[in-house]
Structure 1
């Protein structure tokens, strides 16, 4: 698919690059990645990880180069929060993680043109 400017639409590539950077940062912080891009009928969870006894659901958001339209984390609206929570409920049920404490984080990534991180912010207990 091409955009009106004629450039190839590479949103999926950018999203995958941001998720890869986020996962690497989490591992470096000592998190254990349990699942990536886990899907069910309610939606998708970008990253599911654990730290100590806590199950952490991470929504990864990215923007290219500028925050002119707001930061990536500002794009997490009430509808997205509800979707992630509903999807996480299905994840917990399917994996039988009933006794686990759960936390919802957001990782916000600003990407350079070469798909490296210009900046990254990890917001714990984002919602």
Structure 2
């Protein structure tokens, strides 16, 4: 991960859907179902955060055709690069309902970054979108029962 850690950004109530501070899943929910719901909620929060920041989300949950395996959580254009055209950014979203497994961004390993690089290149090669460069970011989200979610945006972790 990027050694420069940005200060935590608490999402505003307008950005977070109702109930976002509560871990998803209820009684009888399997662990796998709970993880899927947590991930979906995190992606929703991340997409709203990026849109509220002026980014244009182009794609969610993109999977390549034959050959590559994996998924890009979000693909977006970052207009804040200062260049005449926006940067094309692949955004990996990591969401946790507790810190028992460590901070969310710690789950992005070197192997995961290598896979994201390949997927980002494949996405860019298969889509004609004007951009000034490629980048991989990680948005980590900690859900806290009864409190707003904590969102951290780690820019430029790969590529």
Q: Which runs of 4+ in 1 moved over 6 A?
A: none
The reply to whether residue 125 of structure 1 matches residue 156 of structure 2 is yes
Say which SS state the counterpart of residue 59 (structure 2) adopts: strand
> Unmatched 5+ residue regions in structure 1?
1-5
Q: When the two structures are superposed, what TM-score results if normalisation uses the length of structure 1?
A: 0.85
| Corresponding residue for residue 59 of structure 2 | 35
Equivalent residue pairs, number: 120
Q: Where do 5+ consecutive residues of structure 2 fail to align?
A: 1-27, 80-85
Alignment of 1:53-68 (within 5 A): 53-64=86-97, 66-68=98-100
Report which structure shows greater RCO (CA 8 Å, sep ≥6): 2
Find the counterpart in structure 2 of residue 19 from structure 1: 43
RMSD: 2.0
Aligned twin of 2:72: 45
Flag the structure with higher strand content: 1
* Structure 2 match to 1:3: none
Contact 1:49 1:57 in 2 (8 A): yes
